[in-house]
Structure formats: structure tokens, C-alpha cells
Amino acid sequence: MYLVRLIYTSEVCEGFGPSDIEDIIEKAQKNNHASNVTGLLCFNSSYFLQCLEGSRQAVNATYHKILNDNRHRNIIMLNYCEIYEREFENWSMGYIPYSKITTPLNLKYSGTSEFDPLAMSGGSAHKLMMALRDTLVNQ
């Protein structure tokens, strides 16, 4: 079963609150653990940025569920590729709160100091997520 990585961004819908993010993380960790999907979810009050990795079939099935979720909209795939190995193997779904996504990181990977995944190439979004993963490792 081939390993793939998928990165997408989306806009947070109005009315989205703390209980919604808790529900998403709980479901993601439970379902992803069961289907051997790993990855990272970044979030601020405007955007989600998520990386999913796993078998092509499992990532595809997870992405289809996510596409149908009405808690976000304008879902745009930034990166999809076959990979040789996982980069988030320790996280069924690691969660990065906005406080970790700092101005220097945004400036390093995009043309703006704000967290705006639509202003990032797929490659930059991937590199930002790797940098954020390292903040989880070192915390």
C-alpha cells in the first residue's frame, strides 16, 4: 500500500467554537489511529491547515469525510504526493494552536507575517508543518 501525503487548507465557518475544535481533534485521533493515518492540524480563527499521511486509500477516505464537514469551507488542496516515509508518525493528529504559529515562522514560509495558508505554496506549507512538528517534539 503506497504511502501518500495530502496537505489542504480551508476557512473556518462562522460560529466555530472551542467545543468544535475539541470534537474534531477527538474524532480525528480516534479514526486516524484506527486507519493508520497520521498528521498535523494547525488552526487559527480564520484558517485550518492540515497534513494527512498514510496509505493512499486511508488518506483518500479521510479527506472525503473532511470535505463533507460543514464546519469549514473553501477547502483547497495544496499538496498531494507519494512519499517514502512518514514525517508525523508519532501523531494520529497532532494539534498546533495558533500561539505556536509565530510571525517569524509565517515570514519564513510566506510573503506575509500573518498565518495565511493561501499565500503559501504547497512546498512552503509542508516545510512550515515540519517546523511546527519540531516545536511539538521540543516542548
Ligand X SMILES: Cc1cc2nc3c(=O)[nH]c(=O)nc-3n(C[C@H](O)[C@H](O)[C@H](O)COP(=O)(O)O)c2cc1C
- SS3 of 15-84: CCCHHHHHHHHHHHHHHHHHHCCEEEEEECCCEEEEEEEEEHHHHHHHHHHHHCCCCEEEEEEEEEEECC
- Given the complex with ligand X, which of 29 and 113 has the nearer CB atom? 29
Member of 9, 62, 106, 110 binding ligand X (CB under 6 A): 62
According to CB under 6 A, which one of 71, 86, 100, 127 is a site residue for ligand X? 71
Answer yes or no whether residue 31 interacts with ligand X by CB under 6 A: yes
Q: Is 4 in the site for ligand X (CB under 6 A)?
A: no
Scan residues 77-96 and list those touching ligand X (CB under 6 A): 93
Least Cβ distance, residue 67 to ligand X (angstroms): 8
Asked if 82 and 9 count as a contact pair (C-beta separation under 8 A), the reply is: no
Residue found by looking up cell 479514526 in the block: 31
Which residues here bind ligand X, judged by CB under 6 A?
Answer: 24, 27-28, 31-32, 41, 48, 50, 62, 65-66, 69, 71-72, 93
